[in-house]
Amino acid sequence: MTASSLNASKSQNRKLQNVNKSHKICSRLLSVPSLVLYAEQKNLDDFRAREEQKEAEFNKQPIENENEKENEEKTEDDEEVMEIKNKILEASLAFVTANGWTRQAIVKGAEQAGYPGTVHGMFPSGGIELINFYYLKCNKDLVVQMREKVGEKSEKVGDPKEFVCWALKERLLMLDPYIKTWPQALAMMSLPPNVPTSLANMLTLVDDICYYSGDRSIDFNWYARRIGLATIYKATELYMLQDSSPQYESTWKFLQRRIADASLVHDVLIQSEGATQHLTQAVTSAFTTARNILGLNFERR
């Protein structure tokens, strides 16, 4: 082989070596992006899976949150409406003397409170709603007075009969500003659609008076005293409407006599064991129903 041929052969070998090196380098360069792309694709898939899971969990929350929000908004709306109604009814009392327990008094009360007269549509039952408002207001005011007299945690009063007489007198005196229109109120309360709430107001009144007088033992006497007290209150209320004596002096004497006779009523009620059992069941149901009608509970004390 000549020198020129040998040199040509060496040159050819070097070219082949260079080509092989180039192939290896290219192969390495090409393999790196594929690994990177694979890693990035895997991370992207994981990311999407996590986001989809979060989105699914998030989509469950709005339903619960919307329901809670709707309930909260409804409660707030109800409270706002009740606040407006109470404000109107409070203002309407000033017009009862001239207009009676009527829708007209409510219309004037609404205007007095700064609302249009058409807002009386909030009171579909008309004047009876004004009567119930005042009755319940007086009951609450009496509870405040009794608490102040005996104390929040007082279990007993000096003389229960004297306390009951005082409480009934204070409650009846609350009718004095509207004594001329109160017969109309009694007539409206006696109408069949109005009896449940009217009875509930009465039972709540006597229950509160008995409680603060120290009557907290749950036995037949508990029920009998409340029935007797309701009877005494209604009889004295009717007597008061016809009383023309100064400062209702005759009414208070009548009240004292009825309380003195209450023990006789109690003796009559407990003579029959069978009657006692049936009466206890009936009165228990009546007092529970009364509280439910008015939206009250027995944990108020």
Q: Which CATH fold topology does 127-294 show?
A: Tetracycline Repressor; domain 2 (1.10.357)
**Can you give 99-154 as a three-state secondary structure string?**
HCCCHHHHHHHHHHCCCCHHHHHHCCCCHHHHHHHHHHHHHHHHHHHHHHHHCCCC
Q: What is the DSSP string of 248-286?
A: GHHHHHHHHHHHHHHHHHHHHHTS-HHHHHHHHHHHHHH
Tens of pLDDT, residue by residue over 11-54, are 566 655 654 555 554 455 444 444 444 445 555 566 566 666 76
Residue 67, judged by CB atoms within 10 A of its CB (0-12, 13-18, 19+), counts as exposed
Report the percentage of the chain scoring pLDDT > 70.
Answer: 58
List phi, psi (to 5°) of 180.
Answer: -75, -30
Contact 194, 135 (CB under 8 A): no
Token pair in block for residue 130: 């004004």
Q: Where are the domains positioned within the chain?
A: 127-294
Contact 165, 256 (CB under 8 A): yes
Indicate the pTM of the whole model. 0.66
Tens of pLDDT, residue by residue over 209-246, are 988 988 776 655 677 778 889 999 999 999 999 999 99
Tens of pLDDT, residue by residue over 170-207, are 999 999 999 999 999 999 999 999 999 999 999 999 99
Tens of pLDDT, residue by residue over 231-288, are 999 999 999 999 999 999 999 999 999 888 875 555 544 454 444 454 445 444 444 5
Token pair in block for residue 262: 């209450």
